Every structure is written in structure tokens, then in C-alpha cells.
Amino acid sequence: MTTPRPPALRRRRWPLLAAHAVLLLASLPAVAGSPAPVVKVGSKGFTEGVVLGELLAAVGRHAGAVVEHKAALGGTQIVFQALEKGDIDCYVEYTGTLTQEILRAERIRSLEQAREALARRGLVMMEPLGFNNTYALGMKESVAAALGIDTISDLAARAAEPEIAALAFGFSDEFVKRGDGWPAVRDAYRLEQQPQVLDHSLAYRGIETGHIDVTDLYSTDPEIRYYGLRLLADDRGAFREYKAFVLCRADLATRAPQFVRELERLAGSIGNADMLEMNARVRLDGEPERAVAARFLRNRFGWEIDTEEPTAAVRIVGDLLRATRQHLLLVFVSLLAAIVVGVPLGVYASLRPRLAQAILGAVGIIQTIPSMAVLVFMVPLLGLGWRPAAAALFLYSLLPIVRGTFNGLAEIPAHLRESAEVLGLDRWARLWLVELPMASRSILSGIKTAAVINVGTATIGGLIGAGGYGEAILSGIRRADPAQLMQGAVPAAALALILQAAFELLERFVVPAGMRGHGRS
């Protein structure tokens, strides 16, 4: 029994062990007792957000901190709540978003008031980074140059000229409807053109083919470079400012003073052209966000930042293993909890016919809440990471399991229920020995549905730092990189199929033989 394994066998296990060791080391946040402060940087789920997150992370490493970047954390609500809760220490926010969305209820009039409101929450607003990512109007460079148009005022002042009057305006639906979009600029400049409303990507194509002359943009969109557009200066200040700034927790200054000092140096250092260039390198040239951020810091401050990344094959395999582990954790923890709660709930519903509709209705309503909304509820309670994602999946798993249990019990013929009753079996014995085994096929099928749906829904984990296959999918969408997207989508689909097959196998063990032979009577 204790004979050593042949060396060949042992050697074959080595790479696997090594891979595990690497994963383990990589997942340790910091060595205990190390003097280097640990800093957690967050970022919003779009290209510019992630680039800026990598930038802050690089600054942190330069300042000697151990940095963890929780990248692409869904929307504003989730990132801001994570900051308040202390799951992250800092991220980049925009002035317009701060006043109009985060502090909307407090009717902020100036940035000074905003600073005070943030201070009450233990947060600090640092000086703006420089660029202003707001709405803008853009024209094809060649057309704008030929007509000599540089500002929005030019469009208004020369509206009587036939070439100017003939310009076609094509705007996105959101821009036309938002008060701070087209209505604001139309009123400020007294523009009289009638815009067409169309999808943003179609508007760009229209610009390319000459069917559209003026469209709406964000002022740091990489499309500006790609389509060769000229941004018309907003010389009357019609558009609200969306200046980027670092938002951080007040306690960061004491925990990582060097990091905060270096962050302060970023103020005013990133211009619109710089940001646009960085966005374009990621979106158009497919460079990793981390490399783009490092290059910027090298050029601007002369910092040497190590961006060495493992080779593609090692990275892909490592990412896949990690994502699979995270994904399985999400799916199984939530599924297990849903079974523990859902099956008894289904049994209870079947015992209380009057309550049954209320119970099924309630778990049905949960199902209709968009996952993003559930996450916004969960993050303040459970923070970032796998917990809120698993909690959301748990809620989504309830309906199929409760309904499978309820239906399975309801389908038992009345005369068999009565037979069990008249036989003299007590309530528990009837449930355990007769009713649940007879409902087992339906219960298991509910669990299977929940598991397969969970595999797909668990991709939302990518939005709140829970990892899983969703991370690759979101990053693929963000960088418009189909190969990256496939690294998440293909394993997710494969996992769903594997689970489906596993459940069919499980059915043979769980569902009693007499319940399976339906076609044999």
C-alpha cells in the first residue's frame, strides 16, 4: 500500500502541481507583515474606466504599494458603493456624474459643495486629471476644413449659407432626448436644423459615406481618430462638464501616503488628446490596458513600469483555470443554497394551497428583476466579489426549483396520496417515503434548469469582481475583441452542456427505477 509511485507517474503530476502553486501565490494579496501598504483600485466597466484603473494601479506600484485592480466593476452605483464600503480605495469618476447621479438628491451647485458632501462620507475628491469627457459635436475633418468650421458657433452664425444649411445632423436617440444633450446645445446656439435620430454606429457609417455631416460624440471616443473627425469647440459651454478626477477614501492618505502624493501629481496631466489616444490604442489597436497606461506614465513622468506579461498561451490557460474555478464556485454555492431553501419552500407551497400562488408569484417576480438591479442592491450589503454574485444567482435559482418541487408534488394522483394516508403513514413518512420520491424527477429537472441557467447568468460576476467566464466576455465586448469574448463564451457554453449531461446521469441514481419506466407498462 505504501510503495512509492513509479517516478514516471510522479513526474507527470509536476506541471499540474506547479500550476496550482502559481495560482495559489497569485491569489495571495500580500505577504503578512510586509511593510508595503495594500491598495485596492476599482474601475468602471468601459474602456476608458479600465485604462484609468490600470493607470492608478501603476501609480500605486510605482509608489511601492501592493496593488489589486478590481477591473470593470459594472456601473457607477456599484463602483461608488464599493468605495463607500471600503471594498476599493479609489477609482476615477466624472464631475457631471458626481453631481447629476451620485449626489443628485443633495442638489449640489458647486464642486466645493460636492467636496463637502463627499467628505461627510469619508471620501476625498482629488484635483481633475485634465480631460473633459463630455458630449461633443463632430464632423468629418475634410468636410469641416473645406467649410472652415471650428466651433458650434460657426454652425449657428453661418446657418443662412446654403452649404451650411444643407448639412445633415444625425444623432443618437439618447442625445436627442437628454436635457443636457441636443436640447441644451440647440437652445444655447439657437440652432434650427432638424436632426435625424439613428443608432450611434449607423451615424458613424453615415459620416463615412457622407449621408450624415454632424453627429454627437463623447469627446474622448476613439472613433474620433478612427473616422478622422473634427470636434467642434463648445465655445458657449452648452454641454455639462464631465471632468475626470480621482475619488478616494479619506483614510487612504494615512494608509498609503506615498501613493496619495503620487496620485496628486496626476492632476492636470492627462489632456483630451492623451485620453483619446489611450482609448484608441486599446479599442482600435488591441493593446492591453495595462501596457497603454504604462506607456503614458513613462512618456509623461519618465517612470519605468514593468508591464511584462506572461506569454499568451500561459496567460490563456491560467485565466481559463481561474475563471472555471470562480465560475463553478458561483454556480454551485448558489445552487446548493437554492436547493436548501427552494425544495422546502416548494413542499410548503404544496401543503398550503392558498399560499402557493403567493409563494410562486414572489419567486417569479424575483426572476424578472434585471441582474444589474439585483447587484446594485447586493453590493452595499455584501460588498464586491463572489458573495453578491452568488446571492443574486441564488435568487434566480429559486423559481425553477420551487416550481419543480411544487409541480412534482401536485402531479401525484389523489388516489395515491390517499392510499398513503389510509395506510397509516404519518405526514413525514408520506412526504419522505412516497411523495418526494414520486416528485423526484420533477424536482431534479427544476434543479437542472436552475443549474444550466446559472452557468449563463453567472457571467454577471464579471461586473462586480467575482471573476468567472463573464470577465473575459465583458472584456471582449469592451475591447471589441471577438477572440477574447470567445475565451469566456465558449467555456460557459461547454460548462452548460456538461452540467446538462451530468444531470441526466444523476437522474439514473436519484429518480427511483419504477418512476423511470414510463414507456414500459
Partner 1 sequence: MLEMCDVSKSFAGRQVLQPTSLAVARGQTIVLIGPSGCGKSTLLRIIAGLVAPDQGRVLIDGEVFTAANAAAMRRRMGYVIQDGGLFPHLTARANVGLLAGRVGWKSERVRDRVDLLAGLVRLSPEALDRFPSQLSGGQRQRVGIMRALMLDPPLILLDEPMGALDPLVRFDLQEDLRRIFRTLGTTVVMVTHDMGEAGFFGDEVVLLGDGAIVQRGTLDQLIHAPATDYVRRFINAQRLPGTGGREPATGGVA
Q: For residue 74, how many other CB atoms are within 10 A of its CB?
A: 22
| Residue 422 touches partner 1, criterion: CB under 8 A | yes
Provide the edge-to-edge strand list for the sheet that holds 123-132: 66-70, 38-42, 90-94, 243-249, 123-132
If the CB atoms of residues 257 and 514 are measured against partner 1, the closer one turns out to be: 514
Among 112, 304, 308, 426, binds partner 1 (CB under 8 A): 426
Q: Find the part of the chain contacting partner 1 (CB under 8 A) among 186-194, 353-361, 402-410, 507-515.
A: 507-515
* Cα 436 to Cα 135, 315, 354, 477, distances in angstroms: 60, 47, 21, 45
Nearest distance from C-beta of residue 340 to partner 1, angstroms = 23
Indicate the DSSP class of residue 270. B
- How far is it, in rounded angstroms, from Cα 504 to Cα 258? 57
| Residue 267 touches partner 1, criterion: CB under 8 A | no
If the CB atoms of residues 472 and 511 are measured against partner 1, the closer one turns out to be: 511
Among 18, 119, 358, 416, binds partner 1 (CB under 8 A): 416
| Residue 521 touches partner 1, criterion: CB under 8 A | yes
Q: Find the part of the chain contacting partner 1 (CB under 8 A) among 117-125, 265-273, 401-409, 418-426.
A: 418-426
359 three-class SS: helix
Give, as ranges, the residues between 459 and 498 that touch partner 1 (CB under 8 A): none
- How far is it, in rounded angstroms, from Cα 222 to Cα 364? 42
If the CB atoms of residues 207 and 443 are measured against partner 1, the closer one turns out to be: 443
Q: Which residue has the cell 511593510?
A: 35
If the CB atoms of residues 308 and 426 are measured against partner 1, the closer one turns out to be: 426
Among 103, 284, 425, 477, binds partner 1 (CB under 8 A): 425
Nearest distance from C-beta of residue 357 to partner 1, angstroms = 21
203 three-class SS: helix
For residues 224 and 277, the answer to whether their CB atoms sit within 8 Å is no
Among 190, 354, 508, 520, binds partner 1 (CB under 8 A): 520
Q: Which amino acid is at 310?
A: P
Q: At what angle do helices 482-510 and 312-351 cross, to 10 degrees?
A: 40
Q: Find the part of the chain contacting partner 1 (CB under 8 A) among 143-151, 191-199, 274-282, 426-434.
A: 426-434
Q: Beta strand pairing status for 229-232 and 243-249?
A: unpaired
H or E stretch including 245?
strand 243-249
Among 420, 450, 458, 474, binds partner 1 (CB under 8 A): 420
- How far is it, in rounded angstroms, from Cα 291 to Cα 288? 5
Torsion of CA 374, 378, 383, 384, to 10 degrees: -20
Q: Find the part of the chain contacting partner 1 (CB under 8 A) among 142-150, 252-260, 434-442, 480-488.
A: 434-442
| Residue 418 touches partner 1, criterion: CB under 8 A | yes
Exposed, middle or buried: residue 188 (CB in 10 Å: 0-12, 13-18, 19+)?
middle
If the CB atoms of residues 107 and 415 are measured against partner 1, the closer one turns out to be: 415
- Cβ neighbors of 177 (< 8 A, separation 6 or more) are none
| Residue 443 touches partner 1, criterion: CB under 8 A | no
Burial 332-364 (b: 16+ CB within 10 A, else e): ebbbebbbebbbebbbebbeeeeebeebbeebe
If the CB atoms of residues 51 and 420 are measured against partner 1, the closer one turns out to be: 420
If the CB atoms of residues 202 and 515 are measured against partner 1, the closer one turns out to be: 515
Phi then psi dihedrals of residue 169, to 5 deg: -100, 125
| Residue 308 touches partner 1, criterion: CB under 8 A | no
| Residue 423 touches partner 1, criterion: CB under 8 A | yes
Nearest distance from C-beta of residue 439 to partner 1, angstroms = 10
Among 6, 16, 424, 505, binds partner 1 (CB under 8 A): 424
Phi then psi dihedrals of residue 155, to 5 deg: -60, -40
- How far is it, in rounded angstroms, from Cα 280 to Cα 275? 8
Among 419, 482, 498, 502, binds partner 1 (CB under 8 A): 419
| Residue 415 touches partner 1, criterion: CB under 8 A | yes
If the CB atoms of residues 9 and 513 are measured against partner 1, the closer one turns out to be: 513
By CB under 8 A, name the binding residues for partner 1: 415-416, 418-426, 429, 433-434, 437-438, 440, 512-515, 517-518, 520-521
